[in-house]
Homo-oligomer: A and B are copies of this chain.
């Protein structure tokens, strides 16, 4: 396809797939799209293993890496913050609320087996080390979520001749990202899974395209709610150079999601998600569950802690919840949740990632054919 994204990334079909699962990354790139591995929870050592595995399986096809360096975080400016050193900042009230919520659902709260001396989640220094390790592999894109990336990340991309993508949810943010040197904008509507803004894909995509055009010619990937090739065609009709997708890969056979969560995805309608601070401390769209209801609406909710502290709470909690649900505890199942967009309402079965790419291509072609038929004499 003739899109600037295809040239920049060396692909034939401008469907970018964000996934924490290396199998999805490989399947999408091999099928003609572009897989992007979510690396936010990796160390330089573990990313090395993942990317080696990818290189061994991807048949030389291009792929990228996504990191999460928040511009605003409670620990901004502090050095050597570890998981352990953050523990004391979680109030007893928050701990009690979490423990009692899980107990109500028959779940015993246990601590996830993570080395407590690891750097804090979303630690910039560690993330830069992860990127450095990644550049020993043939990555073709680096992307950052949650604000303007640090200058050294932009410089690192330039030094390696690899485009730097930035996720934005509002026009003002897009303008700042272009000024900071972003090569690609991922413009994400409020319907997207994970951290998101308040403006819909249908509006924010043309709004950003219009604003950015006046500054510098930066291609836009549309994101938020996109689960089919018809929607991809819709976004490209509005001027996007391609699409960035996430939720659709969570319902694939390769995905890292639990079987219980995939079942919940198939059952859900588009009204079953919520934009909540309950998982990370920042507004992020996720499946509505007893967890989000308790944090967002319960009269005795202590309110979510700011990032990265809420992640300490939810990591241990969901580790315990998922284990209990998998063991057959139906009440634990009520708590099960994960980041997912409103597009979950379009999921009606679990497929292979390769089959999803194939369907995108067919749907896209059908959409264009349909448009031409509308205008035919």
Q: Which residues from chain A sit less than 8 Å from chain B, CB to CB?
A: 1-3, 170-172, 189-191, 197-204, 206-207, 210, 224-226, 228, 230-231, 233-239, 269-271, 341-343, 345-346, 365, 367-368, 370-376
Q: How far is the CA of A347 from the CA of B341 in the complex (A)?
A: 28
Residues on B with beta carbons closer than 8 Å to the beta carbon of A170: 269-271
Contact of A230 among B191, B239, B341 (CB under 8 A): B239
Contact of A202 among B172, B234, B368 (CB under 8 A): B234
Q: Is the CB of A190 within 8 A of B200?
A: yes
Q: Is the CB of A372 within 8 A of B370?
A: no
Q: How far is the CA of A202 from the CA of B226 in the complex (A)?
A: 8
Q: Is the CB of B367 within 8 A of A200?
A: no
Q: How far is the CA of A171 from the CA of B200 in the complex (A)?
A: 18
**Main SS at interface, chain A:** helix
Contact of A346 among B210, B343, B375, B376 (CB under 8 A): B210
Residues on B with beta carbons closer than 8 Å to the beta carbon of A231: 202, 206, 238
Q: How far is the CA of A204 from the CA of B371 in the complex (A)?
A: 20
Contact of A198 among B172, B271, B346, B367 (CB under 8 A): B271
Identical copies in the complex: 2
Q: Is the CB of A191 within 8 A of B203?
A: yes
Closest to A209 in B: B230
Q: Is the CB of A367 within 8 A of B237?
A: yes
Closest to A169 in B: B271
Contact of A224 among B200, B269, B343, B374 (CB under 8 A): B200
Q: Is the CB of B189 within 8 A of A374?
A: no
Residues on B with beta carbons closer than 8 Å to the beta carbon of A368: 237, 371-372, 374-375
Residues on B with beta carbons closer than 8 Å to the beta carbon of A200: 189-191, 200-202, 224-225, 342
Q: How far is the CA of A373 from the CA of B372 in the complex (A)?
A: 12
Ordered nearest first, which 9 A-B pairs have the shortest CB separation?
A234-B234, A191-B200, A202-B225, A200-B200, A203-B225, A237-B367, A199-B270, A233-B237, A203-B342
